[in-house]
Homo-oligomer: A and B are copies of this chain.
Amino acid sequence: MANGTDIQALLFDVFGTVVDWRGGVAREARSFLDRYAPQLDAYEFADAWRSKYGPSMEEVRSGRRPFVRLDVLHYENLSQVLQEYRIDTAAIPQQELDALNLAWHRLDPWPDSVQGLGRLKQRFMIAPMSNGHIRLMMDIAKRAGLPWDAILGSEVVRAYKPAPQAYLGAVEVLGLQPDQICMVAAHNGDLAAARRCGLKTAFIPRPTEHGPTQTSNLRAEQDWDYVARDMNDLASQLGCPA
């Protein structure tokens, strides 16, 4: 087990690891659905929207499409989801669609995130390493009180995780060696990709990210450098005072 003394910076996955995207999107979508599809479950809607997230980024990761901000992909995915639910977007004012698309800017943190990050910040540089763009991360952080030192991620490195360029770009920006940086995520795949780039890894399970019946990422699938119950536990393991 690494002792954390060499780590200087922590990079965080955000959607699912720091904030509850499913609850937030469902909350934000509810009033929209009440008007246009009252029979639809808002959590199911959030899941359907999110299910298009990975495939839409894959277009960029594969090089078939140049880098675009996540708002763009979210909007395209929203349009598809509405179509699949046979909701007629032509009958919906554009501003309502735009407002719904910004649901991802208004996500609540998990209960331990703000306090844990505050503790970690005392000892380490902390930054999101999300596929969300800068403005999206800034809006979430200001609303939720996430005390980032800087906002890194896809827009800074012009690449989407888990592409190696994403992690290596962050290493270059931080001016550190890869093993002086620890990637923190609730997703084994994110950590596996970070480890392949030489970063240290910390797993925090978020067993309800996908709702009560979640089956993926319930436990560490490799011997990550750290496995913590939540952000506060990670802070304790890394020697940060309470």
Contacts and interface: CB of A to CB of B under 8 A. Distances in A.
Interface of A: 71, 125, 133-135, 137-138, 141-142, 148-152, 155-156, 173-175
A156 B138 contact: no
A98 to B, nearest CB: 11
Majority secondary structure, A binding face:
helix
B150 A137 contact: yes
Contacts of A137: 150
Nearest to A155: B173
Number of copies: 2
A149 B156 contact: no
Nearest to A69: B175
A220 B209 CA distance: 53
24 contacts: A71-B175, A125-B138, A125-B142, A133-B173, A134-B150, A134-B152, A134-B156, A134-B173, A134-B174, A135-B173, A135-B174, A135-B175, A137-B150, A138-B149, A138-B150, A141-B149, A142-B149, A148-B150, A150-B150, A150-B151, A151-B151, A155-B156, A155-B173, A156-B156
Q: Considering residues A125, A133, A149, which has the most beta carbons from chain B within 10 angstroms of its beta carbon?
A: A149
